[in-house]
C-alpha cells in the first residue's frame, strides 16, 4: 500500500487518457502459425480477454480456460502443459517468435511465466514441426507483445492482495506515436503460500499449514517498436524475470530445497515490405540461470532467422527461410555446445473456391544428424456461411535435450529425435452469436525418450511408442438482454493416450492410458456484464488420472469453480480505476493435481488497477 | 535389503523370551499378516508411493497396499527398510519418517515424523529406537553430517539425540547394550553404547559395509567392493575383527538373501555399458561359490523363503508402474512370476 501511495503522489498529475484507439492503415504480418497453419485448431486470447489474469501465471490461465491439462506440483510450483495427452517436453513455447524452452530440460515452467508480461496468448494444437521446428510434437504456446503504434499514453498501476499472504504489484507504462511505440512493465509478486492442507503422511491426517512453498517473482519488460519508414519496421523486446521458490515437498518428505530461476530474453525483428513481398530478419537470445540449492545450471540460446515472403500470383503465397541456432549449456555435470541449422518453405494456395491450402516443409541439421523432411499439409474449407471444415496432417519432432545426451552419468549421445505424426479434422459451426467447434485428432509418437534405471544409473532411451486420439469440443454463445450482456463458454475434451506394446517394457504397461492424462475434462463459464459491472462464474472438471503406467492407482477427478466480480472505469479522484474481487476454489475443494501434492482451498483476492 | 531370516529368528526368539517372562500378558492372536511374505515396495522418487504387499505363498493370494488399507491413508514415503523388532514392525521411509505398525494387521501404533533427513534402517535397544540416517545433503550431494537418531520410546515420538557417525550409515544390529553401525561410504563399523548414546569404538573394514547378520553364534558383516565382496565376523567382547572372507564377485550391489544350508545369494549389476544384472551364490561356512548362478536385468531386490526353499527376485520395471517378482527354486528354475507394487526392493518372510 505504501507503494500505491508513492505512485499516486508521483504520478498524481493527470495525463491524457482515452480508451479510443486511433486506427490507421498499417501493414500487419501475421505469425506463421496463423498465416500458414491452415487446417489446425487454434485458441487465442487478446489483451482484453486476459485482463482478469494479469496478476497470474500462464499455467493458471491454461488450467482454467483451455482444454490443455496442466500438471502442477503445487501453487506456484513446477507446472507443465500436456497437449493431447503428450508430455511436458512435447510443447514448444515461443515469446515474440523466440523459443523459450530450456535446451537442457526441453520444457518450460509455466508457473514462472507471468501474464503481466504478455499481451496476447495463442495456442496451436497438433504436430507443427514444419511450421515451428523443434519440440512442437503436439502443440505450441505463443506469447507476444501487441502492436503499440497509435495508442494513447498509458500508465497503469496494479496491486493485488489475497489469501495465504499473496501480494502482487505491477506497473505498466506505454507511449506511442504513428511511428514509435514504447512499452515498459515492472512487476513483483510475493506469495508465502501459507495455506492449510490435510497431511495424509501422518497418523490421523492432521490439518497443517504449508510452511515450505513460498514464491517470489520479479521482472522487467521493455518493448520498442519503430516504423523506420513506410517500408521498414523494427521491433525489439527485452524481458528479465527472476523467481525464487521454496520447493514444496511431496507429502511425507521433509526436503527444504530452494530454487532460483533467472532468465534474460531478447528479441529483435526487422521487417522490410516490398512490392512483391516481405523480407524479415529476426534474432533472439535467451539465457537461463538456475540455482537448485547451491547447484548452478546455466544455458543460453542464440537464434538468427531470415525469411522472404512473396506472392507469385494472387493465389500463391510463399515463404522461404532459414534459421541458425547456437545452443550452449554449462551444467553441474557437463558442458556442451551445439549449432543447429534449419531451412523451411511455406506455401499457401487459395486458387480454388472456398478452399485454402497450406503446405509446409522443414529440414534441420544438428551435430552430425539430419532431420531431413518434416512436412505438414492443411486445408480450410468454407462449406457454407455457417459451416467450415479444417483438416491437417503433419509431423513433429524433438531433438534430444542436452541433458538427454550429455548428463553425467547416464546421458546417451546416440538418442534419436522423438517424432510424431498427426492428423486432425474439425468442423466449425457459426450462427449469429453462437459458435461451436468439434475437432477429432489421431496422433502417434515414436522414439519417445524415457529415463530408466540401469543398475544404479538412470539412462534415457528411445523406448516408447504412444498412440493418442481424442475429441475437443468448444462452444461460445453471446447474447444481450436489454442492457445486459451474457457470454457462455463451455467445452469438453476426451483424450485417449495409450502406451503401445513394447518388448522392452512389462506387459502390464501395454495399452494403458498414460499417467496423469485425464480421459475426460470439461469447463464452462458464464459472464454477465452491464455498463461498468461484470460478473463471471467459471468451473472446470478434471477426470480421474492414473499415477503410473500400469494404472494401478487412480486419483479421483475434481471439480473446481471460481468467480470474479469487477467494476471497471470508475473515477477515483482524477484516476480511472478498476477493482476486481475474485474467489478461487469457490467450493473449497480438497484436491491434488499430482499424487500427494496438495493444492490450496478457497482463497480470496482483491485487485485494484489505477489508470494514472 | 536389511533384514534376513536369521535376524528375524533371533528377534523372534528374543521377543518370545521377553514375553515368556511376563506374567498376565495376554497372548496376541495371530494376525492376518503374521504369516506369509511381506513385499517391500520402495515407491518412486518424487511420488512417495511406497507400500507393502502381502503374499500368502500357499495360496498365491496377494493383498495390495496393506498399510493404506489398514490405516485409511497412504504410506506417503519411499520405503527403505522393514524391521521386525520388539514385536512391532518398523517401516523406515528414506523420505524422513518411521511408521510403527502392528505386525498382525498393520494398524498404526506410532511414528517418528520429524527431525529425520534420510533414514535408512533401525534397531531397538534399551527401550529406544536407533535410526541410521544419511543426514542432509550438502551442496555437492555429499552427506557429511550423517547420524544415528535416538528416540527414547519404542513406539516413536521425537528425536532426542543425534549421534554423529561416518558418512552414509546403513544397516544396524543390536548386541547386548551395543549396536553396530554399517558406515557404507567410509568403510567403518561404529559401535555405539546405547546407554551412553555415543560411539565407543570404530572398526575399519574394506569395501562398503552393507548388511549385518547372525550365523554360527557370531555377528557378520557383508561388505561390497568393486571386484570382490567381504564377509567379516567380530569378537563381541572387545569389538575387533575376528575373521575375514573375501570372494571374487565383482559389481555386488549390497543386496543379499540368506538361503538354506548357509548359502547366500548376492545381487550384482555390471553397470555401464552393459547393465547386466545377476545373482551370485556364496557360502562363508560352506563350499558354495557360483558367481554366475543366475542372470537377467532390472533386479532390484532379493529374498529367500527358507521354509519352501524359494528365492524371490524383484524387478522394478524402470519404476514406470508396478514391478514384478520372479520366484526361483534352489536350482535357479523359474517357478512363477507375479506383479508387486512400485519399485519392489525387499522381502520379509514372516
Q: Which three cell numbers stand for residue B316?
A: 522394478
Mutation target vs A (from B42, B45, B48, B101; most A CBs, 10 A cutoff):
B48
Assign A166 a pLDDT band (cuts: 50, 70, 90).
very high
- pLDDT, one tens digit per residue, over A343-366 is 999 999 998 989 999 999 999 999
Those residues whose C-beta lies under 8 Å from the C-beta of residue B273, and which sit 6 or more positions away, are: none
Res B9: pLDDT:
44
Say if the Cβ atoms of B139 and A294 lie within 8 Å.
yes
Given a contact cutoff of 8 angstroms between Cβ atoms, the answer to whether A364 and A134 are in contact is yes
Say if the Cβ atoms of B77 and A252 lie within 8 Å.
yes
Say if the Cβ atoms of A550 and B324 lie within 8 Å.
no
- E-assigned strands of A177-214? 180-191, 196-198, 207-209
Query: Which domains are present in chain B?
Result: 33-65+252-350 (no CATH), 78-247 (2.130.10.10)
B149 CB within 8 Å of a chain A CB: no
Q: Average pLDDT in the A400-414 region? A: 94
B117 CB within 8 Å of a chain A CB: yes
B-chain CB neighbours of A596 within 8 Å are: 47-49, 74, 76
Given a contact cutoff of 8 angstroms between Cβ atoms, the answer to whether A321 and A133 are in contact is no
**Residue in B with minimal Cα distance to A198:** B73
Chain A, window 179-208: residues with a beta carbon less than 8 angstroms from a chain B beta carbon: 200-203, 205
Annotation: CATH topology of A2-17+31-252+260-611: Maltoporin; Chain A (2.40.170)
Percentage of residues in chain A having pLDDT higher than 90 = 81
- B312 - beta bridge partners? B303, B327
What whole-number distance in Å separates Cα of residue B343 and Cα of residue A364? Answer: 40
A554 CB within 8 Å of a chain B CB: no
B-chain CB neighbours of A510 within 8 Å are: none
What whole-number distance in Å separates Cα of residue A82 and Cα of residue A497? Answer: 11
Residue pairs spanning A and B at CB distance below 8 A: 119
**Residue in B with minimal Cα distance to A248:** B46
What whole-number distance in Å separates Cα of residue A130 and Cα of residue B289? Answer: 60
- Is the pLDDT confidence value at B272 over 80? no
Assign A455 a pLDDT band (cuts: 50, 70, 90).
low
Assign A313 a pLDDT band (cuts: 50, 70, 90).
confident
Assign B209 a pLDDT band (cuts: 50, 70, 90).
very high
- DSSP states along A513-566: BPTT--SEEEEEEEEEEETTEEEEEEEEEE--EESSTT--SEEPPEEEEEEEEE
Percentage of residues in chain B having pLDDT higher than 70 = 91
What whole-number distance in Å separates Cα of residue A405 and Cα of residue A416? Answer: 10
Q: Average pLDDT in the A190-209 region? A: 94
Task: Give the closest-approach CA distance of A489 to chain B in angstroms.
Answer: 35
Mutation target vs A (from B108, B131, B318, B341; most A CBs, 10 A cutoff):
B318
| pTM (2 d.p.) | 0.89
In this structure, chain A runs to a length of: 612
Say if the Cβ atoms of B317 and A509 lie within 8 Å.
yes
A-chain CB neighbours of B272 within 8 Å are: 409, 454-455, 457
What per-residue string of b and e applies to B267-284 under the rule 16 or more CB within 10 Å gives b?
bbbbbeeebebbbbbbbb
Give the neighbor-by-neighbor strand order of the sheet with B277-282: B252-258, B264-269, B277-282, B289-296
| Peptide bond connecting B273 to the previous residue in cis, omega within 30 degrees of 0 | yes
- B334 - beta bridge partners? B328
A-chain CB neighbours of B110 within 8 Å are: 203
Res A343: pLDDT:
96
- Ordered by start, the domain boundaries in chain A are 2-17+31-252+260-611
B172 CB within 8 Å of a chain A CB: no
Assign B44 a pLDDT band (cuts: 50, 70, 90).
very high
Given a contact cutoff of 8 angstroms between Cβ atoms, the answer to whether B119 and B95 are in contact is no
Assign B27 a pLDDT band (cuts: 50, 70, 90).
low
ipTM of the complex: 0.82
Q: Average pLDDT in the B325-339 region? A: 95
- pLDDT, one tens digit per residue, over A426-450 is 999 999 999 999 999 999 999 999 9
- Is the pLDDT confidence value at A8 over 50? no
- Is the pLDDT confidence value at B60 over 90? yes
Res B273: pLDDT:
66
Amino acid at each position: 500500500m505504501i507503494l500505491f501511495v508513492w505512485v499516486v503522489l508521483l504520478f498524481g498529475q493527470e495525463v491524457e487518457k482515452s480508451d479510443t484507439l486511433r486506427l490507421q492503415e498499417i501493414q500487419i504480418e501475421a505469425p506463421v502459425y496463423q498465416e500458414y497453419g491452415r487446417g489446425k485448431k487454434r485458441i487465442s486470447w487478446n489483451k482484453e480477454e486476459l485482463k482478469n489474469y494479469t496478476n497470474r501465471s500462464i499455467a493458471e490461465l491454461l488450467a482454467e480456460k483451455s482444454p490443455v491439462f496442466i500438471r502442477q506440483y503445487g501453487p506456484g510450483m513446477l507446472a507443465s502443459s500436456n497437449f493431447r495427452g503428450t508430455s511436458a517436453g512435447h510443447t514448444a513455447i515461443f515469446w515474440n517468435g523466440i523459443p523459450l524452452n530450456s535446451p537442457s530440460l526441453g520444457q518450460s515452467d509455466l508457473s514462472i511465466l507471468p501474464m503481466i508480461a504478455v499481451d496476447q496468448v495463442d495456442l496451436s494444437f497438433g504436430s507443427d514441426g514444419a511450421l515451428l521446428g523443434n519440440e512442437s510434437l503436439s502443440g505450441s504456446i505463443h506469447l507476444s507483445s501487441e502492436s503499440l503504434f497509435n495508442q494513447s499514453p498509458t500508465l497503469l498501476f496494479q496491486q493485488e492482495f489475497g489469501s495465504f499472504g499473496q501480494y502482487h504489484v505491477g506497473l505498466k507504462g506505454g507511449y506511442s506515436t504513428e511511428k514509435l511505440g514504447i512499452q515498459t512493465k515492472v512487476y513483483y509478486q510475493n506469495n508465502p503460500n501459507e495455506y492449510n492442507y490435510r497431511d495424509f503422511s501422518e497418523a490421523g491426517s492432521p490439518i497443517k499449514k504449508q510452511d515450505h512453498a513460498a514464491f517470489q517473482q520479479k521482472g522487467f519488460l521493455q518493448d520498442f517498436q519503430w516504423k523506420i519508414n513506410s517500408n521498414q519496421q523494427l521491433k525489439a523486446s527485452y524481458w528479465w524475470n527472476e523467481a525464487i521458490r521454496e520447493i514444496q515437498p511431496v507429502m511425507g518428505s521433509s526436503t527444504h530445497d530452494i530454487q532460483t530461476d533467472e532468465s534474460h530474453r531478447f528479441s529483435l525483428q526487422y521487417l522490410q515490405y516490398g512490392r512483391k513481398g516481405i523480407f524479415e530478419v529476426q534474432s533472439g537470445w535467451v539465457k537461463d540461470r538456475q540455482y537448485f540449492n547451491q547447484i548452478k545450471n546455466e544455458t543460453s540460446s542464440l537464434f538468427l532467422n531470415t525469411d522472404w515472403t512473396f506472392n507469385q500470383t494472387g493465389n500463391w503465397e510463399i515463404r522461404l527461410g532459414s534459421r541458425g541456432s547456437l545452443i550452449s549449456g554449462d551444467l553441474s555435470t557437463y558442458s556442451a555446445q551445439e549449432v543447429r541449422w534449419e531451412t523451411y518453405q511455406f506455401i499457401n494456395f487459395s486458387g480454388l473456391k472456398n478452399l485454402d491450402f497450406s503446405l509446409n516443409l522443414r529440414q534441420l541439421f544438428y551435430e552430425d544428424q539430419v532431420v531431413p523432411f518434416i512436412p505438414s499439409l492443411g486445408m480450410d474449407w468454407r462449406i457454407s456461411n455457417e459451416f467450415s471444415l479444417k483438416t491437417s496432417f503433419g509431423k513433429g519432432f524433438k531433438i534430444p535435450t542436452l541433458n538427454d545426451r550429455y548428463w553425467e552419468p547416464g546421458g546417451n549421445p546416440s538418442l534419436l529425435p522423438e517424432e510424431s505424426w498427426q492428423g486432425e479434422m474439425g468442423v466449425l459451426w457459426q450462427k449469429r452469436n453462437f459458435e461451436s467447434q468439434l475437432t477429432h485428432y489421431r496422433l502417434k509418437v515414436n522414439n519417445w525418450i524415457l529415463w530408466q534405471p540401469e543398475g544404479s544409473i538412470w539412462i534415457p532411451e528411445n523406448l516408447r511408442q504412444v498412440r493418442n486420439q481424442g475429441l475437443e469440443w468448444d462452444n461460445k454463445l453471446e447474447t444481450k438482454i436489454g442492457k445486459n450482456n451474457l457470454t457462455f463458454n463451455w467445452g469438453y475434451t476426451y483424450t485417449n493416450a495409450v502406451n503401445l506394446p513394447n518388448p522392452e517394457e512389462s506387459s502390464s504397461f501395454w495399452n494403458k492410458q498414460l499417467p496423469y492424462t485425464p480421459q475426460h475434462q470439461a469447463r464452462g463459464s458464464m459472464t454477465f456484464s452491464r455498463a461498468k459491472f461484470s460478473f463471471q462464474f467459471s468451473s472446470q472438471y478434471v477426470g480421474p488420472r492414473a499415477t503410473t503406467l500400469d494404472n494401478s492407482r487412480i486419483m479421483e477427478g475434481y471439480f473446481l469453480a471460481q468467480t470474479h466480480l469487477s467494476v471497471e472505469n470508475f473515477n477515483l479522484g482524477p484516476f480511472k480505476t478498476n477493482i476486481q474481487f475474485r474467489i478461487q476454489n469457490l467450493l473449497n475443494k480438497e484436491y491434488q493435481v499430482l499424487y500427494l501434492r496438495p493444492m490450496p482451498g478457497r482463497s480470496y483476492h482483491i485487485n485494484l488497477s489505477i489508470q494514472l | 535389503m536389511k533384514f534376513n531370516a536369521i535376524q528375524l529368528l533371533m528377534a523372534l526368539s528374543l521377543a518370545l523370551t521377553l514375553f515368556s517372562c511376563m506374567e498376565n500378558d495376554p497372548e496376541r492372536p495371530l494376525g492376518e499378516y503374521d504369516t506369509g511374505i511381506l513385499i517391500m515396495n520402495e515407491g518412486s522418487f518424487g511420488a512417495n508411493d511406497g507400500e507393502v504387499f502381502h503374499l500368502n505363498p500357499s495360496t498365491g493370494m496377494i493383498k495390495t497396499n496393506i498399510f493404506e488399507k489398514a490405516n485409511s491413508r497412504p504410506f506417503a514415503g519411499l520405503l527403505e527398510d522393514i524391521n521386525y523388532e520388539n514385536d512391532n514392525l518398523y517401516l523406515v521411509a528414506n523420505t524422513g519418517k518411521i511408521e510403527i505398525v502392528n505386525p498382525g494387521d498393520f494398524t498404526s501404533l506410532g511414528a517418528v515424523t520429524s527431525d529425520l533427513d534420510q533414514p535408512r534402517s533401525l534397531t531397538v535397544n534399551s527401550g529406544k529406537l536407533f535410526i541410521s540416517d544419511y543426514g542432509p545433503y550438502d551442496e555437492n550431494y555429499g552427506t557429511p553430517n550423517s547420524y544415528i537418531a535416538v528416540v527414547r520410546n519404542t513406539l516413536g515420538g521425537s528425536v532426542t539425540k543425534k549421534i554423529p557417525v561416518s558418512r552414509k550409515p546403513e544397516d544396524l544390529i543390536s548386541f547386548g547394550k551395543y549396536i553396530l553401525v554399517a558406515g557404507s561410504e567410509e568403510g567403518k563399523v561404529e559401535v555405539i553404547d546405547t546407554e551412553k548414546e555415543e560411539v565407543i569404538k570404530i572398526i575399519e573394514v574394506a569395501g562398503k559395509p552393507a548388511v549385518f547378520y547372525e550365523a554360527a553364534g557370531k555377528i557378520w558383516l557383508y561388505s561390497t567392493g568393486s571386484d570382490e565382496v567381504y564377509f567379516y565376523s567380530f569378537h563381541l567382547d572387545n569389538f575387533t575383527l575376528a575373521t575375514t572372507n573375501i570372494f571374487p564377485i565383482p559389481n555386488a550391489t549390497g543386496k543379499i538373501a540368506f538361503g538354506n544350508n548357509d548359502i547366500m545369494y548376492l545381487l550384482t549389476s555390471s553397470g555401464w555399458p552393459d547393465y547386466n544384472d545377476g545373482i551370485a551364490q556364496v557360502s562363508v561356512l560352506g563350499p558354495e561359490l557360483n558367481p554366475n548362478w543366475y542372470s537377467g536385468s532390472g533386479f532390484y531386490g532379493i529374498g529367500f523363503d527358507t521354509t519352501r526353499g524359494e528365492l524371490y527376485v524383484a524387478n522394478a520395471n524402470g519404476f514406470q508402474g508396478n514391478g514384478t517378482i520372479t520366484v526361483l527354486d534352489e536350482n535357479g528354475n523359474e517357478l512363477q512370476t507375479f506383479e508387486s507394487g512400485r519399485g519392489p526392493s525387499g522381502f520379509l518372510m514372516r
